[in-house]
Structure 1
Amino acid sequence: MQNVLESLYYGDLAPHEKSASQSPEYRLLNEQITASLNHWKKKLAEEDFDELEALTDLYHQVQGIDMASSFTHGFKLGAAMMIEVLSGMSPPAPQQDT
């Protein structure tokens, strides 16, 4: 059994691949998004729908960047808390990403 560092090194840890929520609300919202996109696909001309899809692709790219930033900040915050707990000292707080 690999430890966390070995798993990270060998690429066995991929938090972004396991980030989908198991919440029923999450699934319901995804179903609503799919239904809405299908509605707009039927309603819009092909060129207009392609523009809408391009916009949603840009949104997903921004969302991915935001998720990576949140993960990184949370990891740094958690590490700082562990240092504080284990050493009895307060390390500098992680910097806010801007």
Structure 2
Amino acid sequence: MKTILEALYRGQINPDEVIVPSQPEYRSVSRQVSAQTVQWRERLGEEAFRELEEYFDLCDSASSMHVEAAFLHGFRLGANLLIEVMSNREELVF
């Protein structure tokens, strides 16, 4: 049996590909986004809509960078919490 660490190293664990928000309204909001995308494409025409999509791609890239940083920070904080608990340390580790 592989360890989680081995699977992560080998690229067999991809959390970003399997995460689906658990809020009940997620699917409804997702459908609304799709419907409005079609409406905006019809209103703007292909060229203007393509430019808008490029803008949204930039926004998505910035958001992805933020989410990655938040994940790393949270993971490190959790690991430090485990170190503190397991070592029975009282000082704050950053």
RMSD: 1.4
Is 1:78 aligned to 2:78, yes or no?
Answer: yes
* Secondary structure at the counterpart of residue 24 of structure 1: coil
User: Normalized against structure 1, the TM-score is what?
Assistant: 0.85
| 1:30-41 matches, cutoff 5 A | 30-41=30-41
Sequence identity percentage? 38
> How far apart are the structure 1 equivalents of 2:55 and 2:35?
17
> How far apart are the structure 1 equivalents of 2:20 and 2:51?
26
> How far apart are the structure 1 equivalents of 2:8 and 2:92?
24
Structure 1 stretches of at least 4 aligned residues deviating more than 4 Å after TM superposition: none
Tell me the residue number matched to 2:57: 57
Tell me the residue number matched to 1:28: 28
> How far apart are the structure 1 equivalents of 2:92 and 2:22?
35
Structure 2: segments with no counterpart, 5+ residues: none
8 Å Cα contact 2:84-2:93 kept in structure 1: no
Is 1:69 aligned to 2:66, yes or no?
Answer: no
The one of the two structures with greater contact order (alpha-carbon pairs below 8 A, sep at least 6) is 1
Size of the aligned set, in residue pairs, is: 93
Structure 1: segments with no counterpart, 5+ residues: 94-98
Deviation of residue 92 (structure 1)? 2.0
What whole-Å deviation, never above 9, does each CA across 1:30-64 have from its counterpart, x for those lacking one?
11111111000011122111111111111111121
| 2:57 aligned partner, one-letter code | D
> How far apart are the structure 1 equivalents of 2:36 and 2:6?
43
